Copies of this chain bind each other. A is one copy, B any other.
């Protein structure tokens, strides 16, 4: 595979033509975020991702990050220098508040930049997205003096941040966290415990690392309501705010993982490390969700990025690789065989990747725009509405984008045949890297429960109805556009079916509590297809109008319409299996016993 090429035309089309970025930013109080600025960020980001991040993708996988006794984690060659370029380019502070030295640009613009970097080098760029999550938690929950001490350094990228949640016995069940925080006379706490799976929690890139750690205060209630959040810096800032005394937090080991090998995933020991409480005692879960929700969008985009990168490779390969003739007759008679792009099944694989990448990107950006509105729209009602949309979309974005990012990576690898299985071509790394995105920041099973149980049943369907209404409005507006009218009709049907399936589950959950867990996965998948269909309709509508008006980018716009057709004809039918599963009871999952499951042996 050649170096990373950012899908800049698709990103521009989405931001400007579909989502109306300039008007959106103006409405959210960012008059400076003009079309020109947006384009400059896209171009600069594409260049940075291509020239700085991408060349280290393979290097990072080959070398991995390792712990050197007495020295901590050593990262792959070139990572430190690349991080310096990231800081020097001013990318770190783009969307952080000016109060902390940031540039105060919209959150969604850094998402666009992040997407390109995550695509070019997933393992590396997690250090940035995690730091952003930590910044948001500190911004939202920490006392002003803690904010002053940490946020400027993190905004500039001088220090990085981590999320220390998981323990060996407490993964999805974060309420079982045992790490203790002992109050000290000076108002600090001593943290004791061991955390596992802590991403980028040690490195040789920045002079300090700010850990956000979930722990229990003495006498805290059992379960999730007894968890508090603490800042635990690797080096305790001195009076001047510079890294001072080494804190008692140490890397025990770095996991040997399937992929993401450049990203150090550490076991972290806290042996009486000094920490500072963030927010109220026993209220750590709220702060954690501030980080997690940001991180869930990030991880969704990581999944999207894997699919996008794999698509780029597979398309290049399919255009070059010559094998067999088209069944309909030679397409490249001057060559010994036709490029494999002529074969329908290769096209199926490629179009699957393209349709998910473009549709899922539209979903991610829609959520990012809603985040802008939730945080910055001057109208409180708009903020509330946007917040509802963010709440509903978060689990869908995390799970749907990662599920189909992995699917796309596997499909694109298949295009390469045997070469896809050999490391040198780079495709197998994408699959290995993509695999984690279905697991971390809450497994996709947890996302599915969050969607159905908390967001749908928890709001008695309100959040979902609001989005379904919006889908219906858009469908109505597109119904008389000949090119897309049949997609509009489908979106209208889907909106109604979505509401009906949700209503049905809300009712049935009253009588059969297992139905929620039994239906959650298929409900999330179904919801993903519905929401992305709505966005494909909107993209197709814009593309059709621009094509009709002439003067647009014909290859791009026609390709967009062809991909919309593929989506509705060949991917959307998968919802039929989801619907059947949603109508099935929970018995087909719940009746079988452990012994019966084991009885084949």
Residues of B contacting A438 in the complex (Cβ-Cβ under 8 angstroms): 414
Distance between Cα atoms of A216 and B530 in the complex (Å): 54
**Which chain B residue has the least Cβ–Cβ distance from A341?**
B594
**Which chain B residue has the least Cβ–Cβ distance from A588?**
B569
Contact partner, A576, options B169, B414, B418, B573, Cβ 8 Å:
B573
Most buried by B among A344, A358, A518, A599: A344
Distance between Cα atoms of A391 and B8 in the complex (Å): 48
Q: Which of A196-236 contact B (CB under 8 A)?
A: 196-197
Q: Which of A517-533 contact B (CB under 8 A)?
A: 517-518, 520-521
Q: Does A553 contact B (CB under 8 A)?
A: yes
Contact indicator B413/A435 (Cβ below 8 Å):
yes
**Which chain B residue has the least Cβ–Cβ distance from A62?**
B256
Contact indicator B601/A7 (Cβ below 8 Å):
yes
Q: Does A43 contact B (CB under 8 A)?
A: no
Contact partner, A344, options B7, B324, B421, B590, Cβ 8 Å:
B590
A324 to chain B, nearest CB (A): 5
Residues of B contacting A431 in the complex (Cβ-Cβ under 8 angstroms): 258, 435
Contact indicator A166/B418 (Cβ below 8 Å):
yes
Contact indicator A345/B517 (Cβ below 8 Å):
yes
Distance between Cα atoms of A518 and B569 in the complex (Å): 12
Distance between Cα atoms of A517 and B558 in the complex (Å): 23
Contact indicator B10/A173 (Cβ below 8 Å):
no
Contact indicator A595/B414 (Cβ below 8 Å):
no
Contact partner, A421, options B257, B406, B588, Cβ 8 Å:
B257
* Chain A interface residue bracket vs B: 35 or more
A369 to chain B, nearest CB (A): 20
Q: Does A422 contact B (CB under 8 A)?
A: yes
Query: Beyond A417-B171, A517-B345, A589-B351, is A257–B423 a contact (Cβ under 8 Å)?
Result: yes
Q: Which of A254-294 contact B (CB under 8 A)?
A: 255-259
Contact partner, A598, options B315, B436, B445, Cβ 8 Å:
B315
Q: Does A465 contact B (CB under 8 A)?
A: no
Q: Is the interface of A mostly helix, strand, loop or mixed?
A: helix
Distance between Cα atoms of A350 and B596 in the complex (Å): 12
Q: Which of A552-601 contact B (CB under 8 A)?
A: 553, 555-556, 558-559, 562-563, 565-566, 569-570, 573-574, 576-577, 579-581, 584, 586-601
Contact indicator B601/A8 (Cβ below 8 Å):
yes
Distance between Cα atoms of A429 and B598 in the complex (Å): 22
Query: Beyond A258-B432, A414-B439, A553-B599, is A347–B592 a contact (Cβ under 8 Å)?
Result: yes
Contact indicator A354/B600 (Cβ below 8 Å):
yes
Q: Does A428 contact B (CB under 8 A)?
A: yes
Residues of B contacting A417 in the complex (Cβ-Cβ under 8 angstroms): 171-172, 439, 443
**Which chain B residue has the least Cβ–Cβ distance from A427?**
B258
A101 to chain B, nearest CB (A): 34
Q: Does A6 contact B (CB under 8 A)?
A: yes
Query: Beyond A513-B327, A556-B600, A562-B591, is A521–B576 a contact (Cβ under 8 Å)?
Result: no
Contact indicator B327/A589 (Cβ below 8 Å):
no
Contact partner, A601, options B9, B169, B351, B586, Cβ 8 Å:
B9
Q: Does A376 contact B (CB under 8 A)?
A: no
Contact indicator B589/A344 (Cβ below 8 Å):
yes
Q: Does A448 contact B (CB under 8 A)?
A: yes
Most buried by B among A6, A357, A410, A588: A588
Would you mind naming 23 contact pairs between A and B with Cβ atoms under 8 Å apart? Answer: A5-B601, A169-B336, A170-B323, A175-B324, A196-B418, A258-B421, A258-B432, A319-B594, A344-B590, A345-B445, A345-B449, A347-B592, A351-B589, A428-B435, A432-B432, A556-B599, A559-B599, A559-B600, A562-B591, A566-B588, A569-B588, A573-B580, A573-B581
Q: Which 4 residue pairs are nearest across A and B when measured between Cβ atoms?
A: A559-B596, A344-B517, A573-B580, A258-B428
